[in-house]
Structures are given as C-alpha cells and as structure tokens.
Amino acid sequence: MPVKSAVFGVVAAAIVFSSQAALAQDAAKGEQVFKQCMTCHRIGPDAKNLVGPVLTGVIGRQSGTAPGFAYSALNKAAGENGLVWSDELIMQYLPDPNAFLKKFLTDKGKADLATGSTKMAFKLADEQQRKDVIAYINKFSEKK
C-alpha cells in the first residue's frame, strides 16, 4: 500500500504542476498577444496615447486617469469610484470591458453611473492570452 500511495502522490503532484505550468504567465507570448492591442494602445517609455490610452504604468493606476487621454464617462466614473487596475481586475476586464465597468459601478452602488459605453470595443476571451498579455504589461508597470 505505501508504494501505491507514494506513486499516486507523485502522479497527483505532476498533474497539479503541469496544469499550473499550462496556466503560467508568459511575457514573451504576451508581447505577441499585445500586437492585437496596438491598433489602439502603445506601451513603453516613449508611448503616446492613440485611440486608447498609453498602458505604461497601468497596473496600480486609477481607471480613467492616464494623462492627456479623453476617457469615456463610464471609465472615469469607475475610477472615481475606486477602480485601480490590478492583474486580477484586468483579467476580469478584458473579456468584456463594458460589462465589467458596469458591474463594477453597480456593485459599488452606483448603477446610475453605469451607463454608456467605454471606447474599448476589443474583447480578449482566451484566459491564457489574458494572462500572457498581463505578464507583458507588468514589464512596464511599477507594482505598489
């Protein structure tokens, strides 16, 4: 019995490890995913606002506050009501930006502000791509 238990334990650990590795973040892959974002966004020390704001420093930044960018009322309201971007919140945001911001405001008791839409029409549904692009974005953000 002890041998079977030991083998089972090793197999179980291998399965957990391999599934964690499959969900690990890969900044190099995220850089490739970010190419889709470059239609509207730039990132890096010389980045400029385009259709979307510069994403340099977005992790830890209050929503709707990138200097020189004209945000939607929905995005500004979310920031004014406490939305500060983190890895986890960006993971939730990317599959459906409008739905995320509206839910955030509604959950804050500000359903009256959860109207209109964000300028971001792009949706990134793939979980692994979201993790990878967040790893890439983190290369340009200071964690607090």
- Is residue 144 in some structural domain? no
Paired residues of 84 in beta bridges: 62
- Is residue 69 in some structural domain? yes
- Tell me the pTM: 0.81
What is the residue whose two structure tokens read 């083998």? 7
Q: Any idea what the CATH number is for the domain that residue 91 is in?
A: 1.10.760.10
- Is residue 3 in some structural domain? no
Cβ pair 15, 9 in contact under 8 A: no
> What is the token pair recorded at 138?
């983190």
- Is residue 5 in some structural domain? no
Which tens digits make up the pLDDT trace of 60-88?
A: 999 999 999 999 999 999 999 999 999 99
- Is residue 61 in some structural domain? yes
Per mean pLDDT, which range of 18-27, 48-57, 134-143 is the poorest? Answer: 18-27
Q: How many domains does the chain have?
A: 1
- Is residue 14 in some structural domain? no
Boundaries of domain holding 66: 26-138
Q: Give the chain's mean pLDDT.
A: 88
- Is residue 2 in some structural domain? no
- Is residue 131 in some structural domain? yes
Query: What DSSP string runs through 4-66?
Result: HHHHHHHHHHHHHHHHHHHT---HHHHHHHHHHHTTT---STT----SS---TT-TTPBTT--
Name the residue among 68, 34, 63, 33 with its Cα closest to residue 48: 68
